[in-house]
Chains A and B, each alone.
Chain A
Amino acid sequence: MSTQTVTRSRDGWLALPGNIWRSVFRNPLPDSDLGRASTSFTNFFLHIHPVKVSRHSLKATYTFGLGLMSAFLFLILTVTGVLLMFYYVPSTTQAYDRMLDLRGTVAFGIFLRNMHRWSAHAMVAVVFLHMCRVFLTGAYKPPREFNWVLGVLLLLVTFFMSFTGYLLPWDQLAFWAITVGTSIAGYAPFVGKDVRFLLLGDSTVGQEALLRFYVLHVAVLPIVLTMLATIHFWRIRKDGGLARPPEEDALPGESSTPGPMEVVSAAPVVMATSAGAAAAAKPLLERKQYGIQGLVRGPITKVGNISDRSKFSWPSLFQAELLVFVITVAAILVVSLFFNAPLEEPVNAMHPPNPAKAPWYFLGLQEMVSYSAFWGGVGIPTIEVLILLLVPYLDRKQVGVGRWFAKERLLPNTLFITFAVLNVVLMVIGTFFRGANWEFVSPW
Chain B
Amino acid sequence: MSTRLSLAIASLVVLVVHGIVFYDQFLNRWEKHQTAYLEQARSLAKTDAERQSIDAAKPRIEQIIVTQFGESRVDRCTTCHIASDDPRFQAYSQPLHTHSYSASLGDIEKNGRWERRHKFSDFGCTICHDGQGRGLDTFYAHGEDENWPQPLLGFATQANWKPAYKAKLTGAEYMQSNCAQCHTEDSFAGTPLVTRGRQLFFEKGCYGCHRIQGLSHGTLGPDLTEVGKRWRIDYLWGHTVNPRDYSAVSFMPKFDLNDDEIKALVVFLKSRKGMNFAETTMDQYRAKLQQTSLPAGVGANADNTPSAARGEQLIAQRSCTACHRLGDKDGHISPDLSYEGLIRDDNWLMAHFKEPRSRIPDSIMPVFGFSEGDYRSITDSLLSRKTPPNFKTGEETYKGLCARCHGEKGDGKGVTYLYLDPAPRDLTKAAFMTTKPEERFLTSLKEGVPGTSMPPWERVLTDQQRKDVLDYVFKTFVKESRRELKERKVPETNPVAFTPESVNAGEQIFLQRCTGCHGRKSDGKGPNSLDISPRPRNLRNSAFINHTTDKRLFTSITYGVEGTAMPSWMDYGLTQTDIGNLINFIRSLNPKPAAAPAEGKSPKLTSRLTVRR
Q: A: which residues have CB within 8 A of B?
A: 93, 97, 100-101, 103-105, 107-108, 111, 171-172, 319-320, 322-323, 326-327, 329-330, 333-334, 337, 342-346, 348, 350-351
Contacts and interface: CB of A to CB of B under 8 A. Distances in A.
A319 B14 contact: no
A350 B135 contact: no
Interface stretch (B17-25, B31-39, B592-600): B17-25
Given A323-B6, A342-B147, A344-B147, 19 more contacts: A100-B134, A103-B135, A104-B136, A105-B135, A105-B136, A108-B21, A172-B147, A319-B7, A323-B3, A329-B10, A330-B10, A330-B13, A334-B13, A334-B17, A337-B20, A337-B21, A345-B147, A345-B148, A351-B230
Nearest to B139: A104
A395 B25 CA distance: 54
Size class of the contact patch on chain B: 20 to 34
B251 to A, nearest CB: 17
Contacts of B21: 108, 111, 333, 337
Nearest to A102: B134
A104 B134 contact: yes
Contacts, number: 76
26 contacts: A93-B71, A97-B74, A100-B134, A104-B76, A104-B132, A104-B135, A104-B141, A105-B61, A105-B134, A105-B136, A111-B21, A172-B147, A320-B3, A323-B7, A323-B10, A326-B10, A326-B14, A330-B11, A333-B14, A333-B21, A334-B13, A344-B147, A345-B147, A348-B226, A348-B230, A351-B226
A104 B76 CA distance: 10
A334 B11 CA distance: 12
Contact of B18 (A103, A105, A107, A333): A333
B140 interface: yes
B563 interface: no
Contacts of B147: 171-172, 342-345
B138 to A, nearest CB: 11
A105 B3 CA distance: 40
Contacts of A319: 3-4, 7
Contacts of A348: 226, 229-230
A97 B13 contact: no
A107 B21 CA distance: 10
B438 interface: no
A344 B146 CA distance: 8
Main secondary structure of the interface of B (DSSP, over half): helix
A107 B31 CA distance: 14
Contacts of A342: 147
A311 to B, nearest CB: 12
B259 interface: no
Contact of B140 (A93, A103, A107, A111): A103
* 6 smallest beta-carbon distances between A and B, as pairs: A104-B135, A333-B17, A100-B134, A326-B10, A330-B13, A344-B147
B149 interface: yes
A333 B13 contact: yes
Contacts of A326: 7, 10-11, 14
B122 interface: no
A343 B139 CA distance: 14
A415 to B, nearest CB: 35
B137 interface: yes
A341 B141 CA distance: 17
Contacts of A104: 76, 132, 134-137, 140-141
A322 B4 CA distance: 10
Interface of B: 3-4, 6-7, 10-11, 13-14, 17-18, 20-21, 25-26, 61, 71, 74, 76, 132, 134-137, 140-141, 147-149, 226, 229-230
A316 B78 CA distance: 57
Contact of B25 (A93, A111, A343, A345): A111
Specify which of B4, B7, B71 lies most central, judged by the most chain A CB atoms within 10 Å of its CB: B7
A325 B20 CA distance: 21
Nearest to B22: A108
A327 B17 CA distance: 13
Contacts of A172: 147
Contacts of A100: 132, 134-135, 140
A158 to B, nearest CB: 24
Contacts of B149: 345-346
Contacts of B13: 330, 333-334
A298 B230 CA distance: 69
Given A105-B76, A344-B147, A337 B134 contact: no
B10 A327 contact: yes
A103 B145 CA distance: 12
A348 B71 CA distance: 15
A317 to B, nearest CB: 11
Contacts of B4: 319
Specify which of B7, B17, B149 lies most central, judged by the most chain A CB atoms within 10 Å of its CB: B17
A100 B72 CA distance: 14
Contacts of B11: 326, 330
A342 B25 CA distance: 19
A100 B25 CA distance: 16
Contact of B6 (A108, A327, A350): A327
Contacts of B26: 107
A342 B147 CA distance: 9
Nearest to B230: A351
Nearest to B11: A326
A248 B416 CA distance: 79
Contacts of B25: 107-108, 111
Contacts of B10: 323, 326-327, 329-330
A367 B71 CA distance: 38
A345 B146 CA distance: 9
B132 A330 contact: no
A252 to B, nearest CB: 27
A79 to B, nearest CB: 14
A274 B3 CA distance: 26
Contacts of A105: 61, 76, 134-136
A114 to B, nearest CB: 10
Contact of B17 (A171, A337, A351): A337
Contacts of B134: 97, 100-101, 104-105
A350 B222 CA distance: 12
A346 B135 CA distance: 15
Nearest to B226: A350
A111 B26 CA distance: 13
Contacts of B17: 330, 333-334, 337
Nearest to B225: A350
Contacts of B14: 326, 329-330, 333
A181 to B, nearest CB: 21
Nearest to B136: A104
